[in-house]
Structure 1
Amino acid sequence: MELPHSYLTYIMVVMSDESRSLGPAAAIAFSVLVYFVLRTTYNVFFHPLPNVPGPYTWSASRLPFIFSLLKGTIVHDFQQLHRKYGPIIRIAPDEVIFAGAEAWNDILQPREQFLKDPVWWAKQPGNPDSIINAINPEIHARMRKTLAPAFNLRALRAQEPILHQYVNLLVEKLIQLSSDAASNETTEFDIAPWFNYITFDIFGDLGFGESFHCLENSQYQSWIALLFNSVKAASFVAAARFYPLVEFLLLKIIPSSLKKMQRDHYQQIVDKVERRLNYELERPDIMSHVIATDYKRGFSRDEINATFMVLTTVGSETTATVLGGTLNYLVSYPDKLRLLSDEIRQRFSTFEDITLDALSSLAYLNAVINEGLRLCPPIPWVLPRKVSASGATVCGTWIPGGTPVSIQQYSLNRDPSYFSSATSFLPERWLSDENSNRDSPFYNDHRDAVQPFSVGPRSCLGEHLARAELRLVLAKLVWKFNFLAPKGKMLEWEQLRTFLLVEKKPIVVRMEPRQNL
């Protein structure tokens, strides 16, 4: 839709008349002001999305969105907007977000695929595609077909000894930590980094055939430390992409030292890939499936490097987020932690009896994990796709072609119209007895609205591996330790900021090894 001709004519006449009476600098400033007013008026009242609810300030300009993104409050700001305006909101002149269960299928499994929005997903010029940022569906499908066998249940059974190796090392390290702390008369620990240590070490072994040695050294490897320090910077890069000139200038002023750091960061992954590709020993790891596939049908060498670099992050940091969030809620709800402890300790008489097959049948453990995934989604918002050129209906609303649309998991998972006591940690909502009992407060919960691993052709390949890590780590820790809430030091998960990934803050717990085992 265009502005009415009479309105345009009037504005142009006013601009022309006013400009004649001003000096050059003032004329330019006046013209910019008029353009801003004109553009804002168009965005709010004449844009193809005027009927989508949302605040005028966000509809008029991209700036409120960018400020929210850079502050790290974007998922919380979206949640407040959803509470005020409903499940469908216009949060920029040309962008719409959704917090409705139908959005999973409408956006991620439509008849004509919505492609990833290049603003968020496009690779830097000259860089290879990875399975994460490959916008072309054919390229993505080729890569996914190669990697999928590395993440199925058959592969997981072969990888189970590797998982036990690192979970057992985690337990050993925490026992030693507890022993050292006891001599200093303290039993309170920040357990958050330990979850990152183990998830990165596991992926290092499964991806490259070698650990990052975080658990062994009780500290972050330099590559991982740099990764965490660059998360906020990624938000600034994404924000700059909305303004090509700003992005151009930003890339030009990046210090050479930072560029070298980025190259060194990438080179460490290249070196790890090189060493793994030269292994003569067969291993049941992820890379073995890439090696077994011809490059023309699978990955080029550059694509292997790019893919395993991003998988190291998404395959590790996200699982650590859920582990930390779930344990944080458990110590905040001691009655739920007691139920989980009773289930695990009654089921396994010895530490060595704990296996993935046995854990998969523990109803309360799996309910705890599902509730942790609901309240602590590792990806709080599914980054935008672009509606296909012909347009489409999403959650009952017609959206023009080319419009960026996204799913707000954080808002959806905490929506009281979908879940009873939506902000409370209540694993019982996932138990089958509660689901079928009409008298249960959870009978009408929309459990299918929770999709932490996404759906469709780009759903998370690593769901089986992630759930296995969550079960094994939580079960072995709860079997071996008694956990309690610290005095006045509980982390409020809702206060964590999001910079594409969830911000890391200390998760302090009181932890004591069980006696007389």
Structure 2
Amino acid sequence: MSFELVSLPYAAALGLCSFLYFVVFPIAVYFRDANGLRRYPNMHPLSGISAIPFMILAHGGARSTYLAKLHQKHPVIRTGPNSLSYGDHRAIKDIYGHNTPCTKDGSYIITAGSHFHLADVIDKHDHARKRKTLSSAYAIKNLEGWEHKVADKTDKLVKHLDACCTSPLKPGEMAETKDLTVDYRKWTNFFTLDAIADIGLSEKLGFLDRGHDRVTGRRLDGTTYECDFRDCLYQNARKQSLLIWPYAWYPFINKVSNIIPFYGRMAKFAQDWEGIPIELAHRRLQRYRAGEKLDDFFQALMEDKNGHPNNLEWGEIVAEVSIMMNAGSATTAIAMTNVLYQLIKNPTMMKQVVDEIDAALEDEDEEEEETGTIAYDKVKHLPFLRACLDESLRLFPPTPHGLPRETPADGVNILGDYIPGGVSVAMSAFVAHRNEAVYPQADKYMPERWLGEEGKSLQPYFLAFSAGARGCIGRNISYLEQTVVLASVLRRYEFALPSPEWQIERLETMNWLLGEMPVKVWRRERKTAPGVGGEGRLTVT
């Protein structure tokens, strides 16, 4: 008997088993409806049976935008066999609030390394331990200690922008291609990477000095290699965002997909990314062992505020360095790009915030005029400046992805409905921020909505930094960096996009992957105005 004849029954059996497992079983589970999720409208006709529709949506790079449109009609949508998306702002407290019994869901487990870090740890007690270890380093009181590091990086950014300045743009004139001398997206990312490396590890990456993000990675065997920091970081996150949705199958799909060049390239970047925090942590550990006492996050990882060792495992230290370099750079750079983009697009808002900055700095000394870097203390309380930042974060939150939570074993009430245990629930920040009931004219850039008592009333529905006990621990650093950079560049320069109609490219992963943002930049005109006693002083117009 030939081999082909023998193998036919086995092939048929395999095909039958596959059909039963991948088709019949999911349909049976769907109609059995043990969790009672069939009462909710499906994102796609097959969403109650398979995660494939959500995977396909993810490949389009705009899943939150799509969900926002669906949520205009439906407060709750079933996005997968065991997952729900919420669009009603009242669900924020139930899912993410301080007293919620929901925990981070299985997606954080399957993407974690050998050790959990602060952002992906599931266990609440372990999270509390980690947060206590790091909270002193991230506290508001330490902003003064970090500001000189932020100022140093701002000086370097200003130095580059000075070198790229062109002649002023005339009214009604469009920027010529040759005058688009700065990719603001790239250089603000260099800024945030240099800043967080210095703040967290007292490491001088030097991206702003060199104009590129070439960096050294370290393999587990101690050998090193060169790679591009941003490509490794963003392509790693992109691959996860495309394939993660069938949680149980993700480890298998993640490996098998590498035979396809599209995913294989991303896998290579992901592999290279793993060695970057290892190398950075290794270098900082050598300095620690040499007796250097430095004011950074690494010191807080190694010792408590009384100098007692924390005795963390090396894998946990590397994990915390990894999330610090990831979350501590990517989202803030996105925010910096977005806010300047919005202000250029809205000249009236631009004039108002520039006037506010100028008024606050009208008695500024010659040092500021020379360096261009504005002290945080002089602009941190400017209401319209902060409103411009918050409105940009609302309109395009750097992390639009709905951060999934798992309901507790005994279930939980969300929007007054009982949801059984083990269900993944989420609310996208993009969806929450486009809710017309909370943010009238939600598609418009309107910083004034954040002023006064009205602005305070919006804070419970602001998800740019998530919410509750798992909210972003680094929001104070982010605001420090955003405020200093925006105030400094608006005080010193004017900007123009390629054209009034030009749009920046956005690709949603877990964060937004932004395309280049080429701008024309020039120094603001200055004139001498009469001062006290007939003396002249420089003013910015």
1:265 deviation in Å?
A: 3.2
Structure 1 Cα separation of the partners of residues 273 and 494 of structure 2:
42
1:105 aligns with 2:115: no
1:285 deviation in Å?
A: 2.1
1:399 deviation in Å?
A: 0.8
Q: Which residue of 1 aligns with 2:172?
A: none
- Of 86-95 and 331-340, the range deviating more from structure 2: 86-95
> Is the 2:67–2:431 contact (alpha carbons within 8 Å) kept by the matching residues of 1?
yes
**Identity of aligned pairs, percent?**
23
Structure 1 Cα separation of the partners of residues 40 and 488 of structure 2:
49
1:163 alignment partner, one of 146, 150, 161: 150
- Of 231-240 and 417-426, the range deviating more from structure 2: 231-240
TM-score of the pair, normalised by structure 2: 0.81
Structure 2 unmatched ranges of 5 or more: 1-7, 170-175, 215-227, 527-537
> Is the 1:240–1:247 contact (alpha carbons within 8 Å) kept by the matching residues of 2?
no
Structure 2 Cα separation of the partners of residues 272 and 284 of structure 1:
16
Q: Which residue of 2 aligns with 1:4?
A: none
Closer, same or farther: CA 34–306 of 1 in aligned 2, 3 Å: closer
Q: Which residue of 2 aligns with 1:274?
A: 285
| Structural mapping, 1:83-102, within 5 Å | 83-84=72-73, 86-102=74-90
1:376 deviation in Å?
A: 1.8
2:53 alignment partner, one of 64, 68, 90: 64
1:112 deviation in Å?
A: 5.8
- Of 258-267 and 141-150, the range deviating more from structure 2: 258-267
- Count of residue pairs the alignment pairs up: 484
1:307 deviation in Å?
A: 0.7
> Is the 2:235–2:270 contact (alpha carbons within 8 Å) kept by the matching residues of 1?
no
> Is the 1:490–1:508 contact (alpha carbons within 8 Å) kept by the matching residues of 2?
no
Closer, same or farther: CA 456–259 of 1 in aligned 2, 3 Å: closer
Q: For each residue in 1:301-332, what CA deviation from the matched residue of structure 2 results, as whole angstroms up to 9, or x when unmatched?
A: 32111111111010111000111111111111
> Is the 2:401–2:511 contact (alpha carbons within 8 Å) kept by the matching residues of 1?
no
1:214 aligns with 2:219: no
1:181 deviation in Å?
A: 12
Q: Which residue of 1 aligns with 2:256?
A: 250
> Is the 2:507–2:513 contact (alpha carbons within 8 Å) kept by the matching residues of 1?
yes
1:479 deviation in Å?
A: 0.1
1:196 alignment partner, one of 141, 164, 189: 189
Closer, same or farther: CA 249–454 of 1 in aligned 2, 3 Å: closer
2:507 alignment partner, one of 497, 508, 516: 497
Structure 2 Cα separation of the partners of residues 234 and 268 of structure 1:
23
Closer, same or farther: CA 112–325 of 1 in aligned 2, 3 Å: closer
Letter in 1 for 2:184: I
> Is the 2:164–2:181 contact (alpha carbons within 8 Å) kept by the matching residues of 1?
no
Q: For each residue in 1:37-94, what CA deviation from the matched residue of structure 2 results, as whole angstroms up to 9, or x when unmatched?
A: 563364167342111223432223211011112332221221222123x221111111
1:512 aligns with 2:499: no
Structure 1 Cα separation of the partners of residues 76 and 360 of structure 2:
45
1:143 aligns with 2:122: no
> Is the 2:278–2:318 contact (alpha carbons within 8 Å) kept by the matching residues of 1?
no
Structure 2 Cα separation of the partners of residues 363 and 69 of structure 1:
37
Structure 1 unmatched ranges of 5 or more: 1-21, 437-444
SS in 1 for 2:39: coil
Closer, same or farther: CA 386–177 of 1 in aligned 2, 3 Å: same
1:428 deviation in Å?
A: 0.7
2:355 alignment partner, one of 339, 342, 350: 342
1:297 deviation in Å?
A: 4.7
TM-score of the pair, normalised by structure 1: 0.84
> Is the 1:328–1:491 contact (alpha carbons within 8 Å) kept by the matching residues of 2?
no
SS in 1 for 2:41: coil
Closer, same or farther: CA 46–304 of 1 in aligned 2, 3 Å: closer
> Is the 2:115–2:319 contact (alpha carbons within 8 Å) kept by the matching residues of 1?
yes
Q: Which residue of 2 aligns with 1:290?
A: 301
RMSD: 3.1
Q: Which residue of 1 aligns with 2:323?
A: 310
Structure 2 Cα separation of the partners of residues 385 and 172 of structure 1:
44
SS in 1 for 2:244: helix
Structure 2 Cα separation of the partners of residues 514 and 134 of structure 1:
48
1:384 deviation in Å?
A: 1.0
Structure 2 Cα separation of the partners of residues 44 and 331 of structure 1:
53
> Is the 2:397–2:429 contact (alpha carbons within 8 Å) kept by the matching residues of 1?
yes
Closer, same or farther: CA 295–94 of 1 in aligned 2, 3 Å: farther
1:392 alignment partner, one of 392, 404, 412: 412
1:32 deviation in Å?
A: 5.1
Structure 2 Cα separation of the partners of residues 291 and 24 of structure 1:
57
Q: Which residue of 1 aligns with 2:218?
A: none
- Of 157-166 and 129-138, the range deviating more from structure 2: 129-138
Q: Which residue of 2 aligns with 1:128?
A: 115
